[in-house]
Amino acid sequence: MQLEFPRGAKDWIDRQKSDRVNSGIMSKCTNCSGTGKVPCPTCHGVGFSSRTDEDGETINRLCSFCGGERKIRCGFCRGTGEVAAVHESAPPQPTVNRPRPAPVDRLAGRWNGIEGTWVEFTPDANGYRTTAGGMRGITGCGTATLLGSKVTLDATDQLCGHYTLELNLRGNHLDGIDRKAGYPIPVEFVRA
Ligand SMILES: [Zn+2]
Ligand SMILES: [Zn+2]
- Per-residue pLDDT reduced to its tens digit, 35-61: 999 999 889 899 998 888 888 888 888
**Residue 107, Cβ density class (10 Å: 0-12 exposed, 13-18 middle, ≥19 buried):** buried
* pLDDT score recorded for residue 98: 63
Where residue 163 sits, what CATH number does that domain have?
2.40.128.20
2 falls in which pLDDT band (50, 70, 90)?
low
Give the tens place of pLDDT for each residue, 80-110: 999 887 644 455 666 666 665 545 789 999 9
User: In the predicted model, is pLDDT for residue 21 greater than 80?
Assistant: no
User: In the predicted model, is pLDDT for residue 139 greater than 70?
Assistant: yes
CA of 173 to the centre of ligand 2 (A): 27
Residue 93 lies in a domain: no
What ligand is nearest to the CA atom of residue 78? 2
User: In the predicted model, is pLDDT for residue 173 greater than 90?
Assistant: yes
* pLDDT score recorded for residue 58: 85
What ligand is nearest to the CA atom of residue 34? 2
Residue 102 lies in a domain: no
CA of 129 to the centre of ligand 2 (A): 39
Average pLDDT over residues 109-129: 92
Residue 165 lies in a domain: yes
Residues 45 and 115 in one domain: no
* pLDDT score recorded for residue 71: 94
User: In the predicted model, is pLDDT for residue 14 greater than 70?
Assistant: no
Residues 121 and 61 in one domain: no
Average pLDDT over residues 64-82: 92
End-of-domain residue from the set 87, 119, 149: 87
Residues 114 and 82 in one domain: no
Residue 97 lies in a domain: no
CA of 185 to the centre of ligand 2 (A): 40
What ligand is nearest to the CA atom of residue 36? 2
CA of 73 to the centre of ligand 2 (A): 8
User: In angstroms, rounded to a whole number, what is the distance separating the alpha carbons of residues 133 and 139?
Assistant: 5
Residues 113 and 83 in one domain: no
CA of 106 to the centre of ligand 2 (A): 26
Residue 73 lies in a domain: yes
End-of-domain residue from the set 57, 87, 117: 87
Residues 17 and 48 in one domain: yes
End-of-domain residue from the set 23, 54, 87: 87
For the residues of the chain, what is the DSSP string, one character each?
------HHHHHHHHHHHHHHHHTTSEEE-TTTTTSSEEE-TTTTTSSEEEEE-TTS-EEEEE-TTTTT-SEEE-TTTTTSSEEEGGGTTSPPPPPTTPPPPPPSSSS-EEEE-GGG-EEEEEEETTEEEEEEEETTEEEEEEEEEEETTEEEEEEEETTTEEEEEEEEEETTEEEEEE-TTSS-EEEEEEE-
CA of 89 to the centre of ligand 2 (A): 14
CA of 107 to the centre of ligand 2 (A): 29
CA of 2 to the centre of ligand 2 (A): 17
Residues 130 and 66 in one domain: no
* pLDDT score recorded for residue 84: 82
User: In the predicted model, is pLDDT for residue 6 greater than 90?
Assistant: no
Residues 81 and 149 in one domain: no
CA of 97 to the centre of ligand 1 (A): 12
Domain span at residue 45 reads 7-87
Residue 57 lies in a domain: yes
Residues 170 and 113 in one domain: yes
Residues 11 and 72 in one domain: yes
Residue 33 lies in a domain: yes
What ligand is nearest to the CA atom of residue 81? 2
Q: How many domains does the chain have?
A: 2
Residues 17 and 82 in one domain: yes
Residues 17 and 62 in one domain: yes
User: In angstroms, rounded to a whole number, what is the distance separating the alpha carbons of residues 131 and 127?
Assistant: 13
Amino acid, single-letter form, for residue 87 = H
* pLDDT score recorded for residue 167: 94
CA atoms within 13 A on the CB side of 22: 6
Average pLDDT over residues 129-148: 91
Residue 50 lies in a domain: yes
Q: Which of 13-17, 53-57, 144-148, 185-189 has the lowest mean pLDDT?
A: 13-17
Torsion angle (degrees, nearest 10) of CA 18, 14, 71, 44: -90
CA of 170 to the centre of ligand 1 (A): 13
* pLDDT score recorded for residue 88: 45
CA of 68 to the centre of ligand 1 (A): 6
